Amino acid sequence: MAGQSSIVPGTLEMLVLKTLSLEPMHGWGIGERIQQLSQDVFAVNQGTLYPALERLQRDGLITAEWRVTENNRRARYYGITRSGLRRLETEREQWERSVRAVDLIMRTT
Amino acid sequence: MGLSVTRSGRDAGTLATGLMRLARRLACWLRFRSWQDGLREEIEFHREMLATDLKRQGLSPDAARAAARRAMGNETYMREEARGVWLSATVEAVLKDGRYAWRGLRRSPLFTAVAVLTLAICIGADTAIFTVMHHVLLAPLPFPDANQIVRLDTPPASNPEMHHLALYPDVVRAWAARSRTVEDLVATESNMVRIGADSTEPLVPGASVTPSFLILLRTPPALGRGFTADDARKGASPVAMIGYGFWRTHYGGAMDVVGRPITVNGVQRTIVGVTASHVRIPTAYQQRTDVWLPFDLDSGDGVLDAVARLRPGVTPAMASRELDAIMREAASDTTWAKTSRAFARRAQDLVDVRQKRSIELLFVAVGVLLVIACANVANLLLMRAWMRRRELAVRRALGAGRLRLARQLLTESLILAVLGGALGLLIGWRGLRAIAALTPTDRVVPPLPIHFDSAVLLWTIALSVATGLLFGVGPALLSGGKAIGDALRSGAQSATGSSSARRLRSGIVVAEVALSMVFVVGATLLLRSFVALERTSIGYDPARLVSVSVELTRQPPTADRAAVEGTLLHTLGALPGVGGAALGNVPQFNVGEGPLAIETPTGAQTVDMQIFMLDFVGSDYFRLVRLPLLQGRTFATTGSSGAANEIIVNRTVARRFWPDGRAVGGRLRIGEPPNAKWLTVVGVAADVQLPGKTGDFYTAQMYRPTSAADAAVSNVVLRLNTSAAPTLDQSVERALKAAGLSGKVARVVWAEQALDTILLVWPRFALILFGLFAAIALGLSALGLYGVMAYSVTQRSREIGLRAALGADPGAVARLILGDSLRLVTLGCGLGIIGAYLAARMLAAFLFETSPADPTSFAAAVILLTSVALLASFVPMRRAVRIDPMDALRGD
């Protein structure tokens, strides 16, 4: 698992929301998908993933329901809510702004 | 790896989202267990998926599982983190405090048991007394807007406290027609009625009411309809309503009861409705009414009761003024109206003043008792805090905030309070049943409930929480002191204890002793008063006297009545076990009413005396009950018409109206002409004295011959040879039948029992409760004193050991300890005597021939308290004497 690093601090929830905006998914699937989409750069730490999922539920950004997986196993599937989508938008804008700003600073020679 | 710092949830702080979040949180807390299981399952699923993944990468199943487990890291931590999202830190901490406190309490079961029991007993007592008070003094009638419902009364102006007197129909009619303060007025008349055609059927409580009765109460019938104005008209087809209880017991709650016929006093009527279960005549004596009949106020005669609903905004005082004016105008031609006053009174205000006072007194008493209990528990907690000061100090040193520790102690007290409250509720419930059994169900006070209502529940909850806060504060405050630092440094044996804590605890004990003193003095005074009451002679000899009321079912014409009563008397007098018989009644409580006119040597004089005792008795009566005739003679032979104009008065009446009390030969008129005739006084009887009862109603006694009575019931007093005659009514009925009379026994009253009810039940009630309180208070302060002394001995064991080592003999050590305890007790007694002296004045109204400052009672209380205190310090003293100097000096 060389070359993997942990997720940029403060972005986990945004990434989860982004993942869930594509399709509802269970916890394991979210971690896999993030890893896959980041081309194996980010490894999701389950120790932070589940508290983050709870937090998002608490704030009403995602909902959860028990469903059966393709392998006939019970799992909790998370789906994004409308306010979750809105939140995703604002987070994305903020993120892009910060990235640009960091970029500007770092390019200064 | 690392904790991700999140900032979500911070920027969405509008009120609506905040509320939504709170709602979701609450939902999660409510389903906490299932939520936890879900999380566990989810994490397990995650781990399995991880293992499957690793297996796919070529690891053996076991190795993959192990690797997955490693990769997952600390699952418990994860779960805690996830939970932390939902449970805020405070909630978490409170739960932790609770668990910790609970464990601590379980570790010292004796302390917990004593504290909880102390509280439970006092909260229980408070709850029970509060229920009684709420019921008797505060609870409004169970009808809508019941505060506007009043009873109308016309007591004598000289004694407005009297209530429930019959009203004259003219006055009631005038009120109904003219009053503007009254929205609706209902006249009622209660009497026993006979249901069914058979004359042997028992009588049931019935009432005649004017048609708007249920409308005034704003309570629709349970079934059918209420009365209409048409029902009361002359010539209307006769109808009746039945009471809810009667419907259930006599008709099995049949739904088709409306329309069925019912025979009431020989008249066939149609049942039109069933009243709701709680309907009764507000404020009347009659507790239950089985049959309701309609009547028209305009055709009503006899005497009535009246209930009114006041217009919104009208107070009883305003209504009383108006009704009084109307009464004076309507009955201006009678002397009666001049000496009476009209009153509109709410149900709560009808309760006897003495009862009201005794209940208030009890309430204050249990309040004080609760204070003692709190003091005791506070004392226990203080002691506990002191013993745990090392533990607390360590925790403090390890970084626990002062607030955190204080909160912890507070939690502990609250848990004690809640446990005490719960147990107290149970005790209160039992206690209430005991009080209900002890309380005479007075005619005005409805029977006490044997259940709590919501107000009482709230009261108990408030009480236990307040108690918890109250006695939690003391220890919590002290835990913060610098004693903690000292405690770390010094050992348990050598510490002398913070002097402020010791002073506080000594102060508590002194207060407890003082308050107990008040209780003990109160109980002693009541006891002495009770003994005095019991010993008082009432003027005649009630031993084995029985009053039998016989209802002759086929009423003889008046002319025959004397003959029938003669037969009756003869028959009953001949029964086995009967030593003598006379017509009359014991105890005498027939009410006589109306102005008296007395003829004095200077002419007729009308006297302002509305209510007095008037009994109808036979000529043998005075000899039988052993009530001496001081002057003159008894009535001429029973039944002779000559006696009809004779009257016998008691000494009080004779003294009041005739010079030197020489009343024989004087003339007297009861009521007003033309109905009232002049009667001649033929004798003066000794006073029947009812201790503690004052007022004309009890002291002005007059007797007339039975031939002047027109009651349907004949009363016979029997003097039995033995005190037990359980089948008296059966033998009386058999004897009646044998003598050719058809009748039955309506009532058998044992004079001694009846007098006991009238004179002793309330005093006994107060005495038992007060005695109980005094015992509890005494026990609590003994416990408190014991605690303080035992603790002080532990604390001073080194000093005592040193003294012993230096040659102090056991006696000196014992004197040292007892001296300490006596100092506290003396101080407490001193304060207590002052308190008791002040408090006893409140009791004065309940004391009979006993001074509130009775020195014997005070002395007895001091002796009792001191002995109990010495007893409580005995065990600690013995421990002090047995301290081994070597052990104590070695220390820790």
**DSSP string covering B58-81, please?**
T--HHHHHHHHHHHH--HHHHHHH
Per-residue pLDDT at B492 exceeds 50: no
> What was the pLDDT predicted at B352?
59
Instruction: Check A7 against B24: CB less than 8 A apart.
Output: no
Query: What are the angstrom distances between the C-alpha of B84 and each of B25, B28, B670, B704?
Result: 11, 12, 88, 89
Q: Are B709 and B635 in contact (CB under 8 A)?
A: no
CA distance B92 to B35: 16
Give the three-state DSSP class for B486. Answer: helix
- Chain A hits for B69, Cβ within 8 Å: none
Instruction: Check A12 against B38: CB less than 8 A apart.
Output: no
> What was the pLDDT predicted at A17?
93
Instruction: Check B49 against A56: CB less than 8 A apart.
Output: no
> Cα distance from B46 to chain A (closest Cα, Å)?
5
Say yes or no: B86 contacts chain A, CB-CB below 8 A.
yes
pLDDT band for position B274 (50/70/90)? Answer: very high
> What was the pLDDT predicted at B89?
60
> Cα distance from A109 to chain B (closest Cα, Å)?
30
Give B59-63's long-range contacts (Cβ < 8 A, gap of 24+): none
> What was the pLDDT predicted at B444?
39
Say yes or no: B72 contacts chain A, CB-CB below 8 A.
yes
Q: Are B615 and B650 in contact (CB under 8 A)?
A: no
The string of pLDDT tens digits covering residues B276-289 is 887 877 755 456 78
CA distance B240 to B238: 7
> What was the pLDDT predicted at A93?
93
Per-residue pLDDT at B550 exceeds 90: no
> What was the pLDDT predicted at B443?
39
pLDDT band for position A71 (50/70/90)? Answer: confident
Within its chain, how far is the Cα of B742 from the centroid?
Answer: 44
**Nearest Cβ partner for A55 among B3, B78, B85:** B85
Percent of chain B beyond pLDDT 90?
9
* Residue A66: closest C-alpha in chain B: B38
List the end-to-end C-alpha distance of chain B, in Å, as a whole number: 51
Angle, CA A41 vertex, CA A37 and CA A42 arms, to 5°: 80
Per-residue pLDDT at B99 exceeds 50: yes
The string of pLDDT tens digits covering residues A1-42 is 445 677 777 788 899 999 999 889 988 889 888 888 888 888
Q: Is the previous residue joined to B155 through a cis bond, with omega within 30 degrees of 0?
A: no
Say yes or no: A17 contacts chain B, CB-CB below 8 A.
no
> Cα distance from B7 to chain A (closest Cα, Å)?
7
Residue B333 has phi, psi (to 5 degrees) of -85, 0
Residue whose C-alpha is closest to residue B869's, from B772, B775, B789: B789
pLDDT band for position B406 (50/70/90)? Answer: confident
Say yes or no: A40 contacts chain B, CB-CB below 8 A.
no
Residue B673: count of CB within 10 angstroms of its CB: 9
- Chain A hits for B79, Cβ within 8 Å: 50
Residue whose C-alpha is closest to residue B452's, from B430, B423, B429: B429
- Between B435 and B830, name the one with better pLDDT: B830
The string of pLDDT tens digits covering residues B590-610 is 666 666 777 766 666 766 666
Query: What are the angstrom distances between the C-alpha of B843 and each of B359, B712, B746, B763?
Result: 12, 43, 39, 11
> What was the pLDDT predicted at A2?
46
pLDDT band for position B5 (50/70/90)? Answer: very low
Instruction: Check B85 against A58: CB less than 8 A apart.
Output: yes
Angle, CA B446 vertex, CA B440 and CA B452 arms, to 5°: 100
Per-residue pLDDT at B738 exceeds 70: yes
B210-224, B239-253, B545-559: lowest mean pLDDT where? Answer: B545-559
pLDDT, averaged across chain B? 78
> What was the pLDDT predicted at B486?
55
> Cα distance from B82 to chain A (closest Cα, Å)?
4
Interface test with A, best of B5, B7, B8 (most A CBs within 10 A): B8
Residue B241: count of CB within 10 angstroms of its CB: 32
Give the three-state DSSP class for B424. Answer: helix
- Between B481 and B65, name the one with better pLDDT: B65
- Chain A hits for B12, Cβ within 8 Å: 59, 87
Instruction: Check A75 against B42: CB less than 8 A apart.
Output: yes
Angle, CA B772 vertex, CA B770 and CA B774 arms, to 5°: 70
> What was the pLDDT predicted at B472?
64
CA distance B520 to B513: 10
Span B124-153, average pLDDT:
76
Span B826-854, average pLDDT:
86
> What was the pLDDT predicted at A40?
83
Rounded to the nearest 5 percent, the helix, strand and coil shares of chain A are 55, 15, 30
Per-residue pLDDT at B8 exceeds 60: no
Say yes or no: B538 contacts chain A, CB-CB below 8 A.
no
> What was the pLDDT predicted at B499?
67
Instruction: Check B24 against A57: CB less than 8 A apart.
Output: yes
Percent of chain B beyond pLDDT 70?
79
> What was the pLDDT predicted at B711?
65
Per-residue pLDDT at B12 exceeds 50: no
pTM for this prediction: 0.61
